[in-house]
Every structure is written in structure tokens, then in C-alpha cells.
Structure 1
Amino acid sequence: MNTTTGASSEHLRNRLVDAILNEDVSGLRDARVETAMRTVPRHTFLPDATIEEAYANKSVTIKENPDEDALPLSCASQPDVVHFMLVQLAVREGDNVFEIGAGTGYNAALLKHLAGPSGQVTTCDIAPDVTAYARRMLDANRCDDVRVVTRDGALGAPEFGPYDRMIAAVGMWDLPGAWWDQLAVGGRLVVPLRWRGLSRAVAFRREANRMRSDSVKMCGFLPVIGQDGERNGYIDDNRLVRLYWDEDQPIAPELLRDALTQEKTVVWTDVTVGPSESFDGVWLRLSATERATCRITVKPEAMEAGLHRPASPALSPALVEGDSIAYFTVERTAEDPGAEPRFRLGAVGYGPAGVELAERVCAQIRAWSPARTAEPVVTAYPADTPDNDLADGAVIDRPSVRLVIVY
């Protein structure tokens, strides 16, 4: 397709990169990544999209899910996320790079541009039709030296390792043991990691017996196939309010059936934000301090029926213990006419322990406020690491890894 209304692909590509840098959502910059994104044509990896769609700062679906209520099976990632994850990865000339999630092949082409003629790039996907698509697009773009393999990304590709850099373009709930074996000490891994209902692009540096983060950024990716440690369930009879939690958390949604029918308690803090200020760090703070942290999603019909609005109905942090729940909420403050709107932050609780849980949410809002851009350090250890060898912090156990999250 790739029809255009007149602007050249180069102009649209440069305009997209300029917009990403001007908006500066992540705060991360690298001149080599900027050059790669101005050079590698995204539209040629998306032949079924218009050229305007290819250079919009949006993800593009390339493989629909037959289940209309489910997420797509494969897509081209949003360009600003591609940009900051490549900055996190810090690919050098001559690096050997492994990518999990082939997608369109566009990201692999960017990786090859960064690794240069002396570098190597291997990209993989579990779906043969996805790898076949990526292979066609890479060949059409003169990237025939990029390897494309069809397999479960959790297995890696040991025959081409060890790797200096590894990057996942799918949401991971666990860090497979094979990755530890194939990533060289001193190497870097960038992965959209999922825990406590949230997803963050975590940049790890591989050390002898652990991986330690130096960058944690907000992102959203399709979940990898085969990792099913996240649970979900409705907590109301009308299936309008849903929780998402991890298998290591003792959450039983059936215990909350009556909670939302009880009187609510709203607890407010003195913390406020402007209309464009992020409060994403509150969720991260909760995940580092509260084992009960999970995610709540609420459909509009539930709020129309009287349920108090979460801060973000599509995904907000919540605390759940037994038959009680509290979740993050916001409310516009009263201000002088003409003044910039402000929103105060708080929590709403339901159930016998709702007030206590709401107070605990508010405690983390207050802890977040004086250091709003602070990022946690996420340290990953092999699953057999003894407790006394872990750093201090909140411990989250997965089948292949022990995560420690601390501020």
C-alpha cells in the first residue's frame, strides 16, 4: 500500500524522530539510535500500512488475534518505545545481539545498523508466519545478514551466542535460565518485565551472579506465549471489575464479591499533579513496599452504577487482602478560574479493611511526591539463590528468577 498524500518518506521519518525527541517522555538520548531511526525506513517493513500510518507514533498490528476480546498476536511496536529501549540497550559496533520477538523485522534492522558490519543480529519468534514475514521484510531491505530463527524465545539461540546484548520485544513475566547462560558477563538485557500488574522496560547489566537494573521505563507489550504466572478474575457479579495478580499472591477474587457493595471510604492526600504530570511512580513504589499490590480494571458501566472511579479505569494499582480492597484514585481540585487544573491523589477502600488499605496506598503517594522521577533498582538472581545472598528489598519469586525491588 504505502500511498502518500505528498510528503516524502524521509520527511515523515525525520518528523517522527523529531517528535519523539521533543516530547522526551523517557528522558533517554543516544545520537547513534537517533541516526538509526532516521536512516532505517519503517514504512518498508509495513507494506500494508499507509505511509502516514507507518510514521505515526503508534503500534501497528501485523497479526490479528481470532479472539476478538484478546490482544493482537503480533505488532510493530510504538516508535517512541523502540527508541528508548534501544537507548537502554546501548548496542556497540561489533556487538553480538539477540532479539526475542521478531515482529516485522524493523527492530532487527535497527539493531543491525547499530551493531555495524562487524556485528551480528539474531531475531527469533515462536510463530512461523511471523518469522517468515520478518525474513521477507529484512531481505527486501537488504538485511539478509540478520539471522531469523523460529523457536520459543525462552530457549535463546545458544548456537550463535554468547551475546553482548539481548532484547525482548514481548512482555516477560519470568527471565528464562537460558538467557543467563547466553548473556555474557558485562552484557546488557532490556526486557519489558511484568510484575504486580504493571509492565516496565527494565535495562539490566549482567554481573557474575545477578543482573542489576540501571533504567526502568514505562512501556506496554504483548505478553509472551507460554508464561502464565499472571492470574485474573472478576470481583463483581456483572463482570465489570477485574483484578490481575501474580500466582505467588494469596488473592481470591470470590472473597471480594461483597466488598464493592459495601460503603466506600475515600482517603485523600495533599499531593497534587497537573494535567500532564505522570503519577506512574506511585505504582512502582507500591510494588516495592506492598506484597498485596495488584491491578484493577473497571468498565464504564461499573462507574455509572456508582463505583468510585479509579485513577485510570483501564489499569490502576490496588491493594487486596482477604475480603478488602483499596485502589488509587484522583480528583480535580477547586481552583481559581483560569488557573491550570490540579488533581489531588488518594485512595478508595471497600470492605472491612478498606480504610487501612487506602491509608497504605496514601503512604506510598506521600513517599513518591518529593522524588517523583526516582526509579527503583530491580535486581534479578537465579531462582536457587539463598535468601542471605539477596539484596535488601521486596522479593518476588518466579520459576527461573528471584526479583528484588528497592528504592
Structure 2
Amino acid sequence: MQTTTSPDALRAEMVERIRKAGHARQGAVERVLRDTPRHEFVPDADLAVAYDPWQAVVTHRFEDGRSLSCASAPWLVAAMLDQLDVEPGNRILEIGAGTGYNASLLAQLTGRADLVTTVDIDPDVTAKASQALAATGYGGVHVITGDGGLGYPSHAPYDRVIATVSPWDIPVSWWKQLAPEARLVAPLRWRGQGRSVSFTYTDGRLVSDSLHLCGFVYLRGEYEGELSGSITADERVKLHWDRDQAVDLSTLRGVLDQPRSVAWSGITIAPDESHDGFWLRLTVTDQRVCRISAHPDAVPEVVNPIGGYWRPALVDGGSLVYLTARRLESGDGVRWELGAIGHGPAAAELTEHLCERGPRLVIQARSIRAQAGHLPCGHPGGRAWCQRTQKTDPVRFRES
């Protein structure tokens, strides 16, 4: 049922709520959000949905029902535009055309629609994005049907690159199309969790300055890197890991039948407080970080992981440990203490390790294929993880 509130009023309310949440900090980003009729890019959505700050709108689906393309939630659009920091006259590449809404915002931020190129692999997506951009006055945006992992070299170099699909790696083509001191914003995935990471390209490296927890449709093709498999005979508990990790499912099947080892960290969180920072810091120091998922029927008898979609785990040979939590009540109210449950020969050691406090991090990326033309043995796709002793890592994490 359509709301009777006007689009202008709903849009103004949306922007105010986004700003109160700490996004659209830049005046230019706030301005383009206020000026752009988002409902014209999602015509099948109710006005209230189109201007809900926290809701994404799915516009295309695969045959199995999974999301193929969508309009990102407005708060995340604002957050990523803050990260991108567009300046007038910037040449911009967008990977993932979506509805065309984000490209229209980019055209306004840079000042000329013809400086914006948006690429999507699906011709239906690009056709509808082109129609919406033309109808709203931004027909000068270059809408390209093609593999987003290849970028679009004809309009390179780019001062700003933004991806609205999630790559497992930073494709070499993107590196090659960056101008000096360019900024790149991409929702990267590593070790089972995803962040919108903003990088500055300097001296052949990408160095991050901000992160936002987020989830996006995956960049398709060779850029996918997560594997998964069951560790129980009934398929109720699965492990998910990256293809550069040495995980052998055959050594883990039946591991949950072995005795539990439990440790508690002393770290507590409020009921509405996220534990994603714990997981993020863990990826700095440990190559073994992955993700566990469980059917509700398996909880808590078979496994008892912390609630929510993000459930970090560590695998070492035939041993497995995962994050858990227990409810604590005191005069200050309810808190949850983070802990670890482990199974297998190294369970006691792993549970204690998972409970250790981690450092703050800065992400640095360096392209081996773009610079050296080859990869070290065992490094898929030009990326590796946070082994601080490996000087050739194309994606490196360091403590600060």
C-alpha cells in the first residue's frame, strides 16, 4: 500500500536519520542525497521502502531466489560516498551498476555525468540503469555491460573507483586503472566477514583509512574465493573458508563428537552490541580464521556458537574452535561474555588463543601480479593474508 507522505518529505527525513547515525558527514554527500529522487530508481518499491535509511531494495534475482542486484541501503550508500571523498572533476569508475542511483550521485559529486563510468555484467541490469539515468537527467553516464573485474580501461585512469559488488580479491585490472593518489572503496571479503574498505593508492600500495561492516552481492566469476563443506554426516554444521587456506574436511568430520574444551575471555558485550571487531582483529594475527554455520536443530547440543550470522572459528588440522557467549547478569544489567569452545587434539590451546585480545589494524594492499607479473607459490589470485613475515603479500595487515 502506498504511503501518502510526499517523496520530498520522506527523503528529508531519510537524510536526517542517516546523519544522526554518523553518515553523510560531507556536505556534498548530504546535498546529493537530499536532491536525488531515489524512488525513481526503484519504481516498484513503496515510497516508504524507497526512503527507509536501513533497507536495501532487491531489483533482480537469480532463478534460485538469491539476490542478483539491488539498491543498497541509503545509510551504506552515504557511508561509502563519505569514504570515496569525490572531488569536482574526478574521473570515476563504479563496479556494479545496480539501479543507476549511485551513478547519479557520483555524477553530481564530480560535476559531470560523462566523467562517471559504471559497469555491470548483466545486460538487464545495465538496460534498466541506463533508462533510469536518462529519465532523471544523467544520461551522460557511461553504462557498460561487461565483466566488472576487468574495470573499463578505455576511460582510465580513474581518480576514484567504487565497487558495489563484493570481490574476494582486488582484481589486477583495477590496480592498473588507478591514477596516482586515487581512492578505491570496495566491500572486500576475507576470512568469512566483509567490510567496505577505503584505500588511498600511493607508491604502488593501497592503504586503508576506514572500514564499515557490510554485505554485498558477490562479484561473479574467478573473483569468488570462499569454499564450504559439512563437518557432520547430517549436513547440519558447515565450515566456510577461503581458497588460500589449507582446510581438509576429511580430518574434521566427526570432530564435534570429541570432548569440548571451553575458555572464557573476560570480554563482555551488551545484548545489542556487535562482536564483529573481535573477529576483525583476529584476522590480523591468525591464518586459521574461518566461519562456522549451524542449522538451528544442531544448537546447542551439537554446537553452541555465538548468535547471529557472523560466527568466527579457527581450524588447525583436525582441531576446531569457535566463538561462543554466555549470559551474565549483574546490577548493571545483562551482559554477554565472549568465550571459545574447541574440539580435537589442539582444543585447549586453540580456545585460549581465541580468547586473547587483538590489536587495532590498518590494511595495506600491494598487487604482485600488477607489479611483478607473477605469484609466489600457493598464492591464488594475487592475494594472501596477514602473515607479517611474508614480505611479498599483496594484501597485508599490520598492527598499529
Q: What TM-score comes out, normalization by structure 1 length?
A: 0.89
Alpha-carbon distance change, 118 to 139 in structure 1, aligned in 2, over 3 angstroms: closer
Larger deviation, residues 281-290 vs 111-120? 111-120
User: Any idea what SS the aligned residue of 1:238 has?
Assistant: coil
2:2 maps to 1:4: yes
Question: Which string of whole-angstrom CA distances, capped at 9 and with x for unpartnered residues, describes residues 131-183 of structure 1?
Answer: 00100111111111111001101111111121110000000111111111111
Shift of 1:228: 2.8
Q: Which amino acid aligns with 1:13?
A: R
2:396 equivalent to 1:404: yes
* Contact 1:297–1:313 (Cα < 8 Å) also in 2: no
Contact 2:114–2:140, Cα closer than 8 Å, also in 1: no
Indicate yes or no: 2:250 matched with 1:265. Answer: no
Distance 1:167 1:121 in 2: 11
- How far is 1:254 from its partner? 2.4
Deviation per residue, 1:320-349 (Å, 9 max, x gap)? 01111111111110223xx43211111111
Deviation at 1:118, TM superposition (A): 7.7
Q: Which amino acid aligns with 1:54?
A: A
For residue 371 of structure 1, what is the aligned residue in structure 2? Answer: none
* 2:365 is equivalent to residue 380 of structure 1: yes
8 Å Cα contact 1:94-1:118 kept in structure 2: no
* Percent identity (aligned): 42
SS in 2 for 1:174: coil
1:332 aligns with 2:324: no
Secondary structure of 1:342's aligned partner: strand
Using a 3 Å threshold, how does the CA distance of structure 1 residues 272 and 235 change in structure 2: closer, same or farther?
same
What's the offset of the Cα at 1:271? 1.2
Deviation at 1:229, TM superposition (A): 2.1
CA distance in 2, matches of 1:356, 1:65: 43
After superposition, the C-alpha distances for 1:349-403 in whole angstroms (9 at most, x for unaligned) are 112212211111101xx336xxxxx4x211111125689xxxxx9249xxx9710
In the other structure, the counterpart of 1:348 is 341
User: 1:294-341: CA deviations, max 9, x gaps?
Assistant: 11112211105x0342123422111001111111111110223xx432
Q: Tell me which amino acid in the other structure corresponds to 2:397.
A: I
Residue correspondence of structure 1 range 241-252 to structure 2 within 5 A: 241-252=237-248
1:202 aligns with 2:197: yes
Candidates 339, 352, 367, aligned match of 2:358: 367
* Deviation string, structure 1 residues 229-274 (Cα, Å, up to 9, x no partner): 2211111112121111111111012221111112212211211111
Change (3 A) 1:218 1:6: same
Query: Which residue in the other structure is 2:252 paired with?
Result: 256
1:209-288 equivalence runs, <5 A: 209-226=204-221, 227-288=223-284
Residue matched to 1:19: 17
- 8 A Cα contact 2:3 2:46, kept in partner: no
Q: Distance in 2 between matches of 1:325 and 1:14?
A: 49
- Residue of 307, 316, 333 corresponding to 1:312: 307
Tell me, yes or no, if structure 1 residue 65 matches structure 2 residue 62: yes
**CA RMSD across the alignment:** 2.0
Deviates more, 1:117-126 or 1:91-100: 117-126
Please give the alpha-carbon distance, in whole angstroms, between the structure 1 residues aligned to 2:346 and 2:39: 53
| 1:101 corresponds to 2:96 | yes
Give, as a single letter, the amino acid of the residue that structure 1 aligns with 2:197: V
- SS of structure 2 residue aligned to 1:341: strand
Separation of aligned partners in 2, 1:326 and 1:164: 43
| Map of 2:149 onto structure 1 | 154
Which runs of structure 2 are paired with 1:172-187 in the superposition (5 Å)?
Answer: 172-187=167-182
Kindly indicate whether residue 121 of structure 2 is the aligned counterpart of residue 139 of structure 1.
no
Instruction: Give me the whole-angstrom Cα distance separating, in 1, the residues matched to 2:51 and 2:24.
Output: 20
Q: Is the 8 A contact 2:107 2:113 kept in 1?
A: no
SS at match of 1:35: helix
Structure 2's unaligned 5+ residue stretches are 377-384
The residue type equivalent to 2:116 in the other structure is: V
Contact 2:285–2:387 (8 Å) recurs in 1: no
Shift of 1:119: 6.6
Alignment of 1:109-148 (within 5 A): 109-117=104-112, 120-148=115-143
Quote the Cα distance in structure 1 between the aligned partners of 2:260 and 2:284: 26
Letter of the 1:402 partner, please give it: P
Separation in 1 of the partners of 2:108 and 2:248? 49
Runs of 4+ off more than 4 Å? 384-387
Q: Distance in 2 between matches of 1:113 and 1:312?
A: 41
The offset of 1:82, in angstroms, is 0.9
Distance (whole Å) between structure 2 residues aligned to residue 65 and residue 360 of structure 1: 41
Distance verdict in 2 for CA 1:229–1:118, change over 3 Å: closer
Structure 1 window deviating more from structure 2 (268-277 vs 50-59): it is 268-277
Moved more, 139-148 or 14-23: 14-23
SS at match of 1:283: helix
